[in-house]
């Protein structure tokens, strides 16, 4: 006979592929539990969690727990929630017993900055990400009236990515396509010709394609760009038989999971001999190719769903400096002007 575990909290969510998944916590706002009720790992995790008291409402752990149970957390994409959860656990371990009254003290910011600097010794990117999540939780807590101050506001960045060499060349693209499965080729072509994020490429359905354009709903920003389908992408789409509601599927005709897609992508890269590039770099490559082709920042933003200021930032900081075609294009225009 199964003995009910007191206080277990659950939430059911419909995932992007249409499946329904239920998540469980030891108590409302408590630590997540693996598996489902009745599983040995579930019961063990429940009892381990209840060895500790529920979070003290006078400490930072209570705000973190409340944030985990709020739509501000649950409204994010599943991958984002997974990434956040890793850092929230670290923050809770480090600062869970930090008194809420202390957040308004002058020294509080220095305490959190020292933590960020320690993390930065291992990874500046991780330090920035952890800091941004902590700042977001405290900002949420401030809005909810749970804290009196956010000492992590406007902390700046330690990590400055240099993506100048992270553009897919035509040679990289050709090598990848030669080694890729039809579905992996389709995923890359969608990214290169629409400039969308990995998750949005994997979620887009055949119903969003009308034969001339594709309408995306971006999970991160909720932007809904409608992108005209370029001839090379259209040729590929029109010979691809639909095997699921999603355009991109795995070899079994089912929607990719995020981890499954990344594993397949890495294997294809390895076969193609491509290193140092990611699927995310295809988005920047699309922005760069559009700029080389003469598209304005506003035109690029209409396609990719970026804010115009973000397009300018991408091109200014990360791509313009290493794209020789832009310089050649500029000189060609100057020569044409001189002949007029």
Q: What is the mean pLDDT of residues 21-37?
A: 81
Could you count the other beta carbons within 10 Å of the beta carbon of residue 307? 13
The pLDDT tens digits for 202-251 are: 999 999 999 999 999 888 777 888 999 999 999 999 999 999 999 999 98
Question: Which residues have CB under 8 Å from 278's CB, separation 6+?
Answer: 166
Could you count the other beta carbons within 10 Å of the beta carbon of residue 265? 19
Q: Are 180 and 224 in contact (CB under 8 A)?
A: no
CA distances from 69 to 30, 42, 89 (A): 9, 19, 14
Binned at pLDDT 50, 70 and 90, residue 151 comes out as very high
pLDDT for the residue numbered 241: 93
The pLDDT tens digits for 164-207 are: 557 888 899 999 999 999 999 999 999 999 999 999 999 999 99
- Please give the residue that has the higher pLDDT: either 220 or 99: 99
pLDDT for the residue numbered 53: 45
Residue entry with tokens 């400096």: 321
What six digits make up the tokens of 62? 């209570």
Instruction: Give the architecture-level CATH label for domain 170-339.
Output: Orthogonal Bundle (1.10)
CA distances from 219 to 16, 58, 79, 226, 261 (A): 10, 35, 11, 15, 17
Q: What is the mean pLDDT of residues 305-328?
A: 67
Q: Which of 73-77, 149-153, 209-213 has the lowest mean pLDDT?
A: 73-77
- Give dist(CA 153, CA 267) in Å, integer: 40
Q: What is the mean pLDDT of residues 83-112?
A: 92
Q: Is the pLDDT of residue 2 over 60?
A: no
> What is the average pLDDT value for the chain, to the nearest integer?
85
pLDDT for the residue numbered 214: 95
Q: Are 322 and 164 in contact (CB under 8 A)?
A: yes
Question: Which residues have CB under 8 Å from 193's CB, separation 6+?
Answer: 227, 229, 230, 232, 233, 286
- Give dist(CA 222, CA 312) in Å, integer: 20
Q: Which of 25-34, 150-159, 281-290 has the lowest mean pLDDT?
A: 25-34
Q: Is the pLDDT of residue 1 over 50?
A: no
- Under DSSP, the state recorded for 257 is P
**Candidate ranges 6-20, 92-106, 311-325; pick with highest mean pLDDT:** 92-106
The pLDDT tens digits for 288-310 are: 888 888 888 899 888 888 878 77
Q: Per-domain residue ranges for the chain? A: 9-143, 170-339
């Amino acid at each position: 006979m199964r003995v009910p575990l007191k206080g277990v909290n659950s939430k059911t969510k419909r995932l992007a592929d249409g499946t329904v998944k239920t998540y469980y916590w030891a108590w409302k706002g408590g630590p997540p539990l693996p598996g489902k009720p009745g599983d040995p790992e579930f019961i063990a995790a429940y009892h381990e969690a209840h060895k500790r008291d529920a979070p003290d409402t006078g400490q930072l752990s209570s705000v973190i727990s409340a944030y985990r149970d709020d739509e501000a957390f649950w409204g994010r994409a599943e991958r984002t929630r997974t990434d956040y959860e890793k850092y929230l656990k670290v923050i809770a371990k480090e600062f869970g017993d930090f008194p809420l009254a202390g957040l308004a003290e002058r020294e509080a910011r220095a305490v959190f900055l020292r933590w960020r600097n320690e993390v930065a010794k291992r990874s500046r990117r991780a330090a920035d990400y952890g800091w941004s999540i902590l700042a977001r939780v405290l900002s949420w807590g401030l809005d909810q009236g749970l804290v009196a101050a956010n000492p992590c506001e406007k902390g700046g960045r330690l990590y400055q990515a240099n993506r100048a060499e992270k553009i897919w060349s035509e040679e990289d693209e050709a090598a990848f396509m030669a080694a890729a499965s039809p579905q992996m080729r389709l995923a890359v072509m969608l990214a290169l010709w629409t400039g969308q994020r990995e998750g949005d490429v994997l979620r887009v359905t055949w119903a969003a394609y009308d034969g001339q354009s594709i309408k995306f709903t971006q999970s991160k920003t909720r932007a809904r760009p409608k992108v005209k389908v370029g001839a090379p992408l259209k040729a590929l789409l029109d010979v691809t038989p639909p095997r699921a509601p999603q355009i991109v599927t795995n070899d079994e005709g089912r929607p990719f999971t995020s981890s499954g897609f990344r594993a397949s992508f890495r294997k294809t890269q390895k076969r193609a001999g491509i290193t140092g590039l990611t699927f995310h770099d295809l988005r920047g490559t699309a922005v760069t190719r559009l700029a080389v082709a003469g598209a304005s920042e506003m035109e690029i933003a209409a396609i990719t769903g970026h804010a115009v200021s973000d397009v300018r930032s991408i091109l200014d900081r990360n791509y313009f400096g290493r794209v020789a075609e832009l310089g050649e294009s500029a000189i060609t225009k100057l020569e044409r002007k001189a002949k007029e």
